[in-house]
Amino acid sequence: MQTEERDIITQKAELSTFEELTQQVYDLIGNPLSVWAVAATIESLGIRDIDAKTDFGFESVFDLAEDVFKKLKKHVRDKAEKEGEKEVKLELGDVSESFKLFFKHFGMGVLFTMPMISQIVAIIIFEYALWAWFRFNVAQATMIAMGTIGAFIITGGFIQVLGRLVSKYMGESNYFLSWKSIKAVIYFAIPLVLGIAALIFVINVVLPFYPQRMITIGLTYFILISSMMLSAAVLYASSQKMVI
């Protein structure tokens, strides 16, 4: 179920078959990139050349797609012009509305930076934060940096997937698929993170490149920061920004 209002191309009580098809294509792909994209979408709806001729009066699907493409482009242009007129009215008219928009987006920006600001404040007041402490020596700081970088690299792809899928399903109010997506990604990501940490630990036991204590510190940060990043990705995609 979509939460956004449907964009209707033709406002009529009864639509022709062609107008219904145009609306279907627009619902699926929005502003089309090319006639080929429209033709592919029409074919995906099960319409063949013979259907284009018998049902719509066109010689082929591609001929039908050309007319649909032109109608969609006209609708997009008209819509952009109307929105442009609204923006001009807003700029020239209601100043209070402009201030509301400014403070709304400014507040969202400040909220987005709060985790980093809190870390800076913690460093100044308490001399330590999530991944820093004034009393770390060079070796310890290096291992923590390596663990942090490793966490960003390993979890980066999973965070992208979570952001795309969960945001998509949440936007459609499809909470079941959102939960299934989260479970599928987390159940794969966490074992992978633990497996990589265990593999690095074993390799360093066999071939001791670094002192085992240093490796343990780095891997601890690697696991904890990976878990934090994955959790934050789920919360952010679920629009739970205040929790983060």
* Residue-wise pLDDT tens digits, 168-184: 787 777 778 888 888 99
| Residues in contact with 62: Cβ distance below 8 Å, sequence separation at least 6, in sequence order | 35, 39
Among the ranges given (19-33, 95-109, 201-215), the one the predictor scored with the smallest mean pLDDT: 95-109
**In this predicted model, which residue has the larger pLDDT, 46 or 89?**
46
Instruction: Give the C-alpha separation, 215 to 145, whole Å.
Output: 12
pLDDT tier at 198, thresholds 50, 70, 90: very high
* CA dihedral sign of residues 203, 205, 206, 209: positive
Long-range contacts of 32-39, Cβ-Cβ distance < 8 Å, separation of 24 or more: 32/69, 32/72, 32/73, 34/69, 35/62, 35/65, 35/66, 35/69, 36/65, 38/65, 38/68, 38/69, 38/72, 39/64, 39/65
- In a domain, residue 5? The reply is no
- Domain of 236 in residue numbering reads as 136-244
* Nearest one of 72, 81, 7 to 34, comparing CA atoms: 72
Q: Do 112 and 197 fall into the same domain?
A: no
Residue 53 scores a pLDDT above 60? yes
Residue 158 corresponds to which tokens in the numbers above?
Answer: 């999973």
Percent of the chain, pLDDT > 70? 83
Q: Are residues 206 and 237 in the same domain?
A: yes
Does 120 share its domain with 166? Answer: no
* In-domain check, residue 57: yes
Are residues 223 and 127 located together in one domain of the fold?
A: no
Q: How many Cα atoms sit within 13 Å of 30 on the Cβ side?
A: 2
Do 164 and 239 lie in a common domain?
A: yes
pTM recorded for the entire structure: 0.53
| Rounded-to-integer distance, Cα 158 and Cα 182, Å | 10
Which one, of 160, 167, 166, 164, lies nearest residue 189 by Cα? Answer: 160
pLDDT of res. 201? 94
Same domain, 201 and 109: no
Residues whose CB is less than 8 angstroms from the CB of residue 157 and which lie 6 or more positions away in sequence, other chains included = none
Query: Phi/psi class of residue 16: alpha, beta or left (left: φ > 0; alpha: ψ in -120 to 50)?
Result: beta
For residue 25, is it within any domain? yes
Between 160 and 174, the higher pLDDT residue: 160
Residue at a domain's end among 63, 92, 121 = 92
Tell me, yes or no, whether 81 and 109 share the same domain: no
125 and 71 inside one domain: no
Report how far residue 219's alpha carbon sits from residue 146's, in angstroms, rounded to the nearest whole number: 9
Q: 82 and 125 share a domain?
A: no
Show the tokens assigned to 240. 């739970």
Q: Which of 169, 165, 201 is nearest to 185 (CA)?
A: 165
* pLDDT score of 154 more than 70: yes
Residues 38 and 65 reside in one and the same domain: yes
One domain for residues 121 and 141: no
At 244 the pLDDT is: 55
Q: How far is CA 129 from CA 119, 123, 162, 236, in A?
A: 5, 5, 27, 22
23 phi, psi to nearest 5 deg: -65, -40
Q: Treating both helix axes as pointing N-terminal to C-terminal, what angle do 49-56 and 61-92 enclose, rounded to 10 degrees? A: 70
Indicate the number of domains in the chain: 3
